[in-house]
Structures are given as C-alpha cells and as structure tokens.
Structure 1
Amino acid sequence: MSQRLVVVGAGTMGAGIAYVAAGSGCDVVVVDVDAGRGAAARQQIRGWADKAVARGRSTEADAAALLERLGVMTNLTEVAPGPDVVVEAVPENVDLKRRVLADAEELEPKLLGSNTSSISIDSLAAGLRRPERFCGLHFFNPVYAMALLEIVVGEATDDDARRAALGLADRLGKQPIVVRDSPGFATSRLGNALGLEAIRMLETGVASAVDIDRAMVLGYRYPMGPLELSDVVGLDVRLDISRTLQRAYGDRFSPPQLLLDMVAEGKLGRKTGEGFYRWIDGEKVNP
C-alpha cells in the first residue's frame, strides 16, 4: 500500500528525500514557500531520474511513474491531512524549524520528523502538542546514494514513533541507527571532530588537502576524505554545526579561522563551485 509522505523544504536534502521516497513507491508532496525553489527541486529530481535511466539503474517507465507520484506545493494548508510521515528539511535554524514543525503537526501525521543534523530533538519537540510522534530523521547527502538513516529519539518519542521511523527506513531502503538525543547525535559529532581537525591540519600546513584526504581514503578506507566531504556537505553547514557543538562541548569544536574565512568569502564547497576543491556542475575537478 502506498504511503503518503510530505517533505517541507525544497533544498538539496528535501529534494533528495522526496526523490528516494517517490522512487520507493510513496506518494510525495514537497512544500516550500518559494515557488521557484519548489520548481527547481522538481527539475533536480527529474535530472536524477534521467541519470538513473541513462546508467541502466532504472527504466523510463519507472522514472515517469516516480514523477507522477511527486507533487510540489507552496503552503502546508494545501496538503490533505493525515499523511503517514512529514519530514521537515529546512535550514538549521531553531526558530524556523519550530515554526515549520508546529504548522506541520496540524496535518496530524502518524510520524513527524526533523532532518536536523545537530539541533536537539527535545528542544524542537518542546512546542509540539504531540511530541510522542516526533523524532529526528537525519538523512545524508546525496540521499539516493547514502545508506544511513540516523533516527534520533527524544525523551517524549514513544515506541510507535520509533517503530514507524524504522519502518520508513526499511521502506526507503536505508540502514538505520537509533541514537539518544544529544548535541550532534552520533554522526555529526564524530564527523565534525574529524572534519575540523582536517581543516586545522590544512591551515597549519601539515599537508595538502589532497594528501589529508588521501590518508583517510587509503589508510582507513573512507569513501572520501574529510575535506572533500566538507565541500559536499557545505562549509556553511559545517560551520553551523561546529558552533552548535562548541556551545555544547566546549572549544574542541571551535571553528578554525580558515573555515570562518572561507565561509565569509562565499567559498562554500560544491554548491558554489569552490571550497577545498574546485567543482564544475557538481563534479570535483581533479587538482
């Protein structure tokens, strides 16, 4: 039976979640107040579907069916009530997320989730009428390629919500981990510790970006190095998470000056074409 899934936020993560959900047979609505972003998300999803066909991973019929299951709207009030899942995927801003989640809760979803990578689930749940239905649903970029779904349970999250989140992971073909709410959860806390140290190493001239990344790829079998991953995630996102973790755990998570300078200069990684590497059309340019 088809599930109804609503994604609030048409950025890269929202589009990725919607693409994977529609590809798994869910009826999906992407909601974004900016109609241009919504249209861009649909176009991006169409591009992913076309690439899957070109690479032999899908058929034209499957791609067409995926797009048929995808809708784009500009207001949550346009969405029919009672969806199975609503996933909030707006920028990492506490007040913005709280407003979006409060509005999304009016739809009475069976499961309400936030794609936050670092903000406390208990903090976000504080303003909800039904916090027992709420948990973190932390997807990874690119959503279609990354197997992990980090499920973050808060103090109020009940067993039904936990089971629903695990069921969603299974439906979307993701491998879940379940973690207790704490700043940075498991993945952002560990990933940022490595990423920030790699930036400090580059900043102090220990090695080049290429060699720092190569050390982790060849020596520890990482799929990509921490500096390349920072480019993929976005250096502004890396900085936001760093500041959140610094407030929680102290100066071992303080952002290096190099990271501050690059963000100030608009060098945000893959999405701007320049970070620790150069990028053209989303592909890294070999140094």
Structure 2
Amino acid sequence: MSDNQAPERVGVLGGGRMGAGIAHGFVLAGSSVTVVERDAEAAEAARGRVLDSIEKSLARGFAGDSAELESRLQVSANYDDFAQAQLVVEAVPELWDLKVESLRKVEAVIDSEAWLASNTSSISVSDLAQQLQRPERFLGLHFFNPVPASTLIEVVIGAQSAAETAQIARGWVQALGKTAVVVNDAPGFASSRLGVAIALEAMRMVEEGVASAEDIDNAMVLGYKHPTGPLKTTDIVGLDVRLGIAEYLHERLGERFAPPQILKDKVAAGELGRKSGRGFYDW
C-alpha cells in the first residue's frame, strides 16, 4: 500500500448512517469493504444503505460500474470476517463501554500489522488505546455526517500512536477525496470542541429569549458563511448525541461546556432532532 492509496481491504464495524457512509467512501476509493453488524438482519440493512449511497454517487456522475462496486462490498455479523482487513474503522454509538468491547473484539481477530481506528467524535483516543494490546496501531478517524458529502476527516493521533500514523492516515484521506486535519488527542479534538461550544451558546440564546432558532442560525449562515446554523446542525446530528458530547466535555473541560437545560429537557421529551421529527425545528 503506497501513499495516498486506500487500503486494499477495509473493515467497518457498524453499518448505521455513519458506518454506511464510511463503507461507501472506501468502496468508491477501490477498497474491498466488509461491514460487520450485530446480527444478520442489521447487516442486510447496512448493505441496503451502502448500495443506495453508491447508486446516488453514480447518478451524480461518479465514473464506475454498479455491479463491480457492489462486488467490493460484503456484510456480516461475524467479527472473524475482519481477519484480512488492513484497516478497520469502528463506527458504533458514542458509548465508552461499547466502544472498548467492540475495539477489543476487532483487535483479537485482525493482523498485528493492521490498523484500527475509531470514528469517535469526542472520546479520548489515548484512553481507548490504553484498553488495547497494540495502542501504536490505533488512531481516531473522525468522519462527518453525511459522510459522502463531507470533505473533512479529522485524524486524531493518540499518545501512543506510531510515528508514521499521521502520514499514512493522510494518504487514506486523500484517496477518499477528502481533506485531513491532524490533531493530537484532546477532549473533543478540534471540530467537536468548537462545534459544540457554538451550539451550546446558541441554545442558551434560545433559552434566554435572545432570538428564535431560525434567526440565530441565519446569523451564522449569512454573517459567518456557515453552511448550516448551529441549531439545525444539532438537529441533524441528534440532540442526544450533542448532549452526550457536552456532558463528556463538561466533565473534562469544565463549566463552559455545561449542557443548557433546554437541551436536557428536549432530550428527555424525545425531541432528538431530525431522526425523531422534532428538535429545535419541526422536520
């Protein structure tokens, strides 16, 4: 595998919206991709998500053959199917215990020279690495939602990551047609820390009656050229996801990341954003 080339064989653990997007990207970059899910039904659902995403790329003009691209995708409910992967990206929900358990299971079946990455958006890569047998082969690859349309991947280097990790990861990112930003492990990295800080302040402004969600978002879109305002972005990401990240950053970085009551109340009421039909907006 040379610089700026995707691994020949890639594994993705978790085939939800993020995992399917990651698998889609590597298939289009020329990799053979195995997606592992919790059971056969979930695996088939993941296949559908990836293939639908591939068809949309072809419809937008991506030069490729549908059957050939589909042949590069395998779905499974068996961790052993990661055995030949040169890189496995974990994309399970943002829960410490689940991530540790999942990463350990992957590490137990992959080659000692394979790379293991987490798509975590906030959990310490160094802390996760300490739970593994080969921390030097571990890193963060933080993809952004929706993965096919996003042009950014945050490469997170842990305290024990091998010296060549950043260079190799930059090559993968370039092969995916995206841009890498490389950060050393810190709570929230760069993107989540800044994005959540803005979103939490926007929520406080709604809570205090400063302005409506729409007007706050328009201020950032029109005044600062953000493609989407912080509150609509929160709806897209999921209020429950944003709350979990805020609670983690609050614990690690202090009161400036304390989640506003409006966020806690909306999550408690099941107003999770786009996926539930209502958040700061009605969907």
Q: What range describes the TM-score normalised by the shorter chain of this pair?
A: over 0.9
> How far has the Cα of 1:78 moved from its partner?
3.1
Aligned-residue sequence identity (percent) comes to 51
Deviation at 1:62, TM superposition (A): 2.7
Contact 1:111–1:161, Cα closer than 8 Å, also in 2: no
Instruction: Determine which structure has greater relative contact order: mean sequence separation of CA pairs < 8 Å that are 6+ residues apart, divided by chain length.
Output: 2
**Partner of 1:73 in structure 2?**
76
Q: CA deviation at 1:190?
A: 0.4
Q: Which residue of 2 aligns with 1:51?
A: 56
Q: Is the 8 A contact 2:151 2:179 kept in 1?
A: yes
2:80 is matched by which residue type in structure 1?
T
Number of equivalent positions? 276
CA displacement 1:189-228 (0-9 Å, x = unmatched): 0000001111111111111111111000000000110011
What does 1:1-287 correspond to in 2, within 5 Å? Answer: 3-54=8-59, 56-58=60-62, 62-79=65-82, 81-106=83-108, 107-108=110-111, 110-279=114-283
Letter in 2 for 1:47: D
Tell me the TM-score normalized by structure 1: 0.92
Shift of 1:242: 0.2
- Give the drift of 1:164: 2.1
Q: Structure 1 counterpart of 2:276, which letter?
A: T
Cα distance in 1, alignment partners of residues 58 and 138 from structure 2: 36
Query: Normalising by structure 2, what TM-score?
Result: 0.93
- Partner letter of residue 88 of structure 1? E
Alignment deviations for residues 105-129 of structure 1 (CA, whole Å, 9 cap, x no partner): 1212521100000001111011211
Q: Amino acid of the residue matched to residue 167 of structure 2?
A: R
The whole-number CA distance in structure 2 between the counterparts of 1:166 and 1:104 is: 23
| Superposed displacement of residue 269, structure 1 | 1.1
Q: How many angstroms does 1:53 deviate by?
A: 3.4
Contact 1:147 1:175 in 2 (8 A): yes
Aligned partners of 1:78 and 1:3: how far apart in 2? 15
TM superposition shift of 1:49: 2.4
1:111–1:165: 8 Å Cα contact kept in structure 2? no
CA distance in 2, matches of 1:63, 1:213: 39
Return 5+ residue gaps in structure 2 as ranges.
2-6
Runs of 4+ deviating beyond 6 Å: none
- Two-structure CA RMSD over aligned residues (Å): 1.5
Runs of at least 5 residues in structure 1 that lack an aligned partner in the other structure = 280-287
Work out the CA distance in 2 between the residues paired with 1:40 and 1:142: 18
CA shift for structure 1 position 91 = 0.7
Deviations along 1:235-287, one digit per CA (max 9) or x if unpaired, are: 111000000000011111111111111111211111222211222xxxxxxxx
Distance in 2, Cα, partners of 1:190 & 1:36:
37
Give the whole-Å Cα distance in 1 for the aligned partners of 2:164 and 2:86: 12
Whether the 8 Å CA contact 2:34–2:81 is kept in 1: the answer is: no
1:158 to partner: Cα distance: 0.9
The structural deviation recorded for 1:76 is 0.6
Residues 63 and 268 of structure 1: is their aligned pair in 2 closer, same or farther, counting only changes over 3 Å? farther
- Whichever residue aligns with residue 92 of structure 1, its letter is E
